[in-house]
Structure 1
Amino acid sequence: MKIAIIGGSGFVGTKLIDLLIQVSDNEIRNIDKSASSKHPSITMIGDVLDRTGLTAMLAGVEAVILLAAEHRDDVSPVSKYYDVNVKGMQNTLEAMEANGIKRIIFTSSVAVYGLDKENPKEDTPTDPFNHYGKSKLKAEMVLQEWYRDHSDWNVNIIRPTVIFGEGNRGNVYNLLHQIASGKFIMIGSGTNQKSMSYIGNIIAFINYLVMVKTTGYNVYNYVDKPDLSTNDLVHYTGRILGKKIPTVRVPYWLGMLGGYGFDVLAFIIRRKLSISSIRVKKFCAVTQYDATKAMNSGFIPPYDLQYGLKQVLKAEFSVSNENSV
């Protein structure tokens, strides 16, 4: 099968291409506006906002994996979220139709549910709180509406929680780095649950959908269980690193006040800062999601969550000991 990954030059895409090349004889094509440092020979420079170019690049393809997205929480102007995530979806579908392609795997996000929801399932009402979540939901709605008129298509939507892994410099890495460095400040009680997805498992699940879920319209949350609290993350990090982690604690209201202060400072100096009220709010929120449907689909995650955390800490922070979690 000829598979096109749109947006495959980033962290998830690179790891996914590694896996797809390893486990199958499928022909892989990467379409991205950025060059791929690891897979340049199969990469075509393209943009989801260029429907004509995208149509030409999808010629001969049988299935599409759509990863391309604006996903940072400080994108400016906010219209970029909707241009890339929503219009990009529409352009992709039209380019697929022009080439007779009827299979798409789309990585959405649990951000469509909003914050502090009670373990939402796939049929839980959506309530996104930021432009990223709103744009991802609108992209899903475009795809859902498309399927109503294209019922012979195969659509698989994955809503992963925060993804982490070796080489990633996202939110989980930043949190683990702060904990490991001893400069960590716990805002709030630390009892809020955090659902996470290890990169080795999320790419294995995408491959599973490509190979097995070949019919119908399917939506899956993806989370590696069990969920951990922020306190748990501090505990596991200290245990894996073999050292006591000092933790300064401040009340939630004070943390939010500091976040608003950084918002004002960022506005004054016209720079994006690593601390903001949104990031404080997300840090303290319960981000726990139900993944029963994915785990009952026949998919078996190849790694457990604690293994993923240990691998990241070993790779990123030069852990030489072999302490178990």
Structure 2
Amino acid sequence: MQILVTGGAGFIGGHLAERFVRDGHDVTVLDNFDPFYDTQIKEHNVRVARAAADESDGAYRLVRDDVRDESVVDDLVHEADVVYHQGGVAGVRRSVDHPREYNDVNVEGTLNVLEAARETDIERIVFASSSSVYGKPIELPYTETHQTKPVSPYGVSKLAAERYVEAYHDVYGLPTVSLRYFTVYGPRMRPNMAISNFVSRTMNGEPPVVYGDGTQTRDFTFVEDVVDANAALLGTSRADGTVLNIGSTGNIQIIELAKHVRDAVDEELGIEFGERNDADAEHTHADVSKARESIGYEPSTSIRAGVEAFIAWYRENRDWYEPLVRSS
């Protein structure tokens, strides 16, 4: 199968590209290597995927370009059987200072993918949405019918793109699925994420810093569970036209997460606190029953197991990864 992964040198996209190549598919990655976080991670993801191609029957091709380039997107989408549209600008806090960039990349870029696919026989477009579309919770866990009232330009851009994806399914008959990811973490994650910062500080004898009082809760989802959800969509049309929550086995308070990381590295350290950013959500927690019913999604990695796996990866890659975390 010919698979296009936009943003395929990024965190989730890189894991998807590796998985699909290992499974014997021919994968094209479109990525502009935006330095939102250091491109060393993206170069690492490319090397991992190319190594997977060398060990399998799959093929890997990298196209260094941008989802905002209509002609490039058009050509690549016309070659593909399935498109995993992961390409976009991430980061809730950064979006507050750069709202136009988030609209240009996340909304206009998504429109380029949809328009390119409209005149093709594409089997499926899978769009990477976000739990940030929900905003402040009325009730938890979030179901897909919960109100969507994002509190950041990033969340707004993801919701707008998601609405376009739904409209292209309803109006033009495109087979589309949107996956609302809940705080994905794991090996090769962006260096400015909470878990990577907690691990870095504790490994350097510094207490983890929690922003706010730590009672905020998150549904942290291990990246391999996210990859499994995406891979399941290669073999079924049951989710076409829908939006699905992709979350974890449960949520956790940020202070408890910090303590768990601390205890795994150095139990003698304390906890520090910083000022909370207003753009950060207070609580997230996913109801994944719809994904379970439609694609058999079963998140299997607990936060404890996932953090331990990330710490092990961090130790193995500390020489090049830690400087990125420290400078983020």
Residue 309 (structure 1) aligned with residue 302 (structure 2): no
Q: Which residue of 2 aligns with 1:4?
A: 4
Q: Does 2:178 align with 1:157?
A: yes
Q: Which residue pairs with 2:166 in the alignment?
A: 144
SS in 2 for 1:282: coil
Secondary structure class of the residue paired with 1:64: strand
What residue is the counterpart of 1:131 in the other structure?
153
Q: What is the match of residue 14 of structure 2?
A: 14
Pair 1:240–1:105, CA change in 2 (3 A):
same
Q: Is it true that 1:122 corresponds to 2:144 in the alignment?
A: yes
Q: Does the aligned pair in 2 maintain the 1:33–1:47 contact within 8 Å? A: yes
Matched, 1:112 2:133: yes
Structure with higher Rg: it is: 1
Distance of aligned partners of 1:100 and 1:314 in 2 relative to their CA distance in 1, 3 Å threshold: same
CA displacement at 1:215 relative to structure 2: 5.7
Shift of 1:45: 2.5
Structure 1 counterpart SS, 2:184 = strand
In the alignment, is the contact (CA less than 8 A) between 2:127 and 2:165 conserved in 1? no
Partner deviation per Cα, 1:69-105 (whole Å, 9 max, x = no partner): 1112315532111111111111111111233324100
Q: 1:89 is aligned with what amino acid? A: T
CA distance in structure 2 between the aligned counterparts of 1:193 and 1:53, rounded to whole angstroms: 40
Question: Secondary structure at the residue paired with 1:30?
Answer: strand
Q: Secondary structure at the match of 1:31?
A: strand
Aligned residue pair count = 290
Q: What are structure 1's unaligned runs of at least 5 residues?
A: 257-276, 320-325
What per-residue deviation string (whole Å, max 9, x for no partner) do you get for residues 168-226 of structure 1? 21423124434554333445443332111111111111111222346631211111112
* Corresponding position: 1:101 with 2:98: no
Q: Which runs of 5+ in 2 are unaligned?
A: 34-41, 51-59, 318-328
Instruction: Tell me if the contact between 1:55 and 1:98 (Cα under 8 Å) persists in the aligned partners.
Output: no
Distance across 1 between alignment mates of 2:260 and 2:4: 38
The aligned amino acid for 1:295 is R
Question: Structure 2 length as normaliser, TM-score?
Answer: 0.80
Structure 2 CA distance for aligned equivalents of residues 188 and 136 of structure 1: 25
1:58 aligns with 2:77: yes
**How much does 1:244 deviate?**
3.0
Aligned residue number for residue 193 of structure 1: 217
Amino acid of the structure 2 residue aligned with 1:77? H
The amino acid of 1:9's aligned partner reads A
Cross-structure match for 2:39: none
RMSD between aligned residues: 2.5
Matched, 1:223 2:223: no
Q: By how many angstroms is 1:125 displaced?
A: 0.9
Partners of 2:160 and 2:215 in 1: CA distance: 32
CA distance in 1, matches of 2:239, 2:164: 19
Secondary structure in 1 matching 2:252: strand
Q: Secondary structure of the equivalent of 1:88?
A: helix
1:184 pairs with 2:208: yes
Relative to structure 2, which stretch is displaced further, 201-210 or 171-180?
171-180
- TM-score normalised by L of structure 1: 0.80
Note if 1:77 corresponds to 2:76.
Answer: no
